[in-house]
């Protein structure tokens, strides 16, 4: 019996010891030293330094690389969509992904609300560059709601409004040049 008991203890030690030592970690990782970066507390001096390095508020470390910020200000479809939807709160706006999703919107004391999703397929000013989807949500007195796709007619009206506004913006931009 004693032999059988000591064999189990030895076997247990053989299994546990490698597991225990594998969790100890490497001392080199623990001794890693991080460099501290001093930040100038004077905001005006920092802005001047960023300007001199060719950066700025939106792309301070990128140099002359293109940014999504440039997309949002130069794309007339994007600007037009934001102007057309200015009456409705926005839920998700992704410049680089080319998507605008509004929050649910309803007039006061209404149990019906609407939501829009606008996707930009291209930055060119043409009808195939914009995809508009709408959703209607109707809630009953107990606040149990059902959601359905919005009408194609409404989607087309919003899309037409965006394209018309984009043409206006483009004409204004061309006149400025």
121 located within any domain: yes
Confidence of residue 57 (pLDDT cuts 50, 70, 90): very low
Task: Tell me how far CA of residue 141 lies from CA of 19, 107, 111, 115, in angstroms.
Answer: 60, 16, 8, 20
120 located within any domain: yes
Is pLDDT larger for residue 165 or for residue 122? 165
Per-residue pLDDT, 119: 93
pLDDT of 51 > 70? The answer is no
pLDDT of 69 > 50? The answer is no
Give the domain range for residue 133.
Answer: 68-176
112 located within any domain: yes
56 located within any domain: no
75 located within any domain: yes
3 located within any domain: no
Nearest-angstrom CA–CA distance, 2 and 87: 84
CA quadruple 40, 45, 51, 57: dihedral sign: positive
How many domains are contained in the chain? 1
* Contact status, residue 124 vs residue 131, Cβ threshold 8 Å: no
Is pLDDT larger for residue 165 or for residue 36? 165
pLDDT for 97-127, tens place per residue?
A: 889 999 999 987 788 999 999 998 888 888 8
Here the tokens at position 85 are: 């939807």
Is pLDDT larger for residue 11 or for residue 2? 11
Distance, C-alpha 90 to centroid of its chain: 12
13 located within any domain: no
What SS3 class is residue 4?
Answer: helix
Nearest-angstrom CA–CA distance, 69 and 96: 9
pLDDT of 142 > 70? The answer is yes
Torsion of CA 118, 156, 136, 95, to 10 degrees: 10
* Contact status, residue 90 vs residue 69, Cβ threshold 8 Å: no
Per-residue pLDDT, 91: 92
Helices 76-84, 152-176: axis angle to 10 degrees equals 120
94 located within any domain: yes
Per-residue pLDDT, 58: 44
Q: Which of 53-57, 60-64, 163-167, 173-177 has the highest mean pLDDT?
A: 163-167
Nearest-angstrom CA–CA distance, 75 and 128: 15
């Amino acid at each position: 019996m004693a032999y059988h008991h000591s064999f189990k203890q030895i076997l247990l030690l053989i299994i546990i010891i490698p597991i225990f030592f594998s969790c100890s970690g490497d001392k080199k990782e623990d001794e890693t030293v991080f460099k501290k970066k001093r930040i100038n507390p004077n905001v005006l001096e920092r802005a001047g330094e960023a300007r001199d390095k060719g950066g700025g508020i939106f792309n301070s470390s990128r140099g002359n690389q293109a940014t999504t910020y440039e997309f949002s200000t130069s794309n007339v479809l994007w600007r037009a969509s934001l102007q057309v939807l200015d009456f409705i709160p926005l839920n998700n706006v992704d410049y680089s992904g080319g998507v605008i999703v509004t929050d649910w919107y309803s007039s006061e004391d209404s149990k019906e609300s609407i939501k829009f999703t606008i996707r930009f397929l291209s930055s060119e000013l043409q009808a195939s560059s914009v995809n508009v989807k709408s959703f209607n949500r109707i809630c009953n007195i107990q606040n149990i709601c059902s959601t359905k796709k919005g009408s194609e007619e409404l989607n087309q009206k919003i899309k037409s409004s965006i394209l018309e506004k984009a043409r206006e913006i483009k004409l204004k931009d061309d006149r400025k040049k």
